[in-house]
Amino acid sequence: MFKLDNKIAIVTGGGSGIRKAIALLFARQGAKVYVLEVNEEAGNDTLTEIQKEGGKGSLISCNVADQKAVKSAFEGIYQNDGKIDVLVNNAGIAHVGNVLNTSEDDFDKLYQVNVKGVYNCLQAGVYFMLKAGGGVILNMASVASVVAVKDRFAYSMTKGAVLTMTMSVAKDFVDQNIRCNCIAPGRVHTPFVDGFLARNYPGQEQIMFEKLSKSQPIGRMGKSEEIASLALFLCSDEAGFITGSNYPIDGGFITLNA
């Protein structure tokens, strides 16, 4: 079950954290994984791990906010492999701030990557999936898509957009063999969390880590590998009856904190 043999999968931002875990797992399950990453060093690290494990993959340097670059990348993949089976829209950036201390530059940057970047990849992905007879799309939303999270004004805006874009694509192409879903993670322990704590709480990293962990009702942060497992299921043939859905994976954050 949950095999991706002979599937061509694109994972955007596959260089670290959840994105890297998804790329590695998909390759282990038989997919040929194209890692689209603006950070070539990080992307190469992921590709090296894929190849060490005997998987198939390739790195494409790409800024998802650049529509021409995205179209070129997707066209190259389609010409090389004749299809695109799976697209995981994972590239994104975070931001901490409320409406008063979020600068226009910060807002615009988040929009360009988290909203326009997803749009660019959705447009290219749907186009080539239709040419090949269908496919599966998974977008990375957030608990911030559906509930208020303190000091995440601009970030929440972008993830709300991801949620509604997911539903729109699912509705528009449900009769053309394209499924589209999204995942809404809670707080997950990634390099971003460690960097955030080091920058903002020097000397208090462990204390703040425990505090953030306990903000999840289950008592800990999620693991990247746990998010990747849900992504694998939703992109597999076993999930063929699922589209237009948002899957919280949040340690009870949305429901049990209500």
Q: Catalytic positions, please?
A: 155
Q: Is the CB of residue 183 less than 8 Å from the CB of residue 234?
A: yes
Residue 80: C-alpha distances to residues 31, 58, 74, 116 (Å): 15, 12, 10, 26
DSSP SS3 for 2:
coil
Q: Is the CB of residue 72 less than 8 Å from the CB of residue 124?
A: no
| Spatial separation of the C-alpha atoms in residues 241 and 98, rounded to whole Å | 39
Q: Is the CB of residue 222 less than 8 Å from the CB of residue 187?
A: yes
| Spatial separation of the C-alpha atoms in residues 3 and 15, rounded to whole Å | 22
DSSP string of 89-102, one letter each residue = E-------B-TTT-
| Spatial separation of the C-alpha atoms in residues 189 and 206, rounded to whole Å | 13
DSSP SS3 for 242:
coil
Beta bridge partners of 25: none
CA angle 51, 141, 134 (to 5 degrees): 65
CA of residue 44 relative to chain centroid, distance: 18
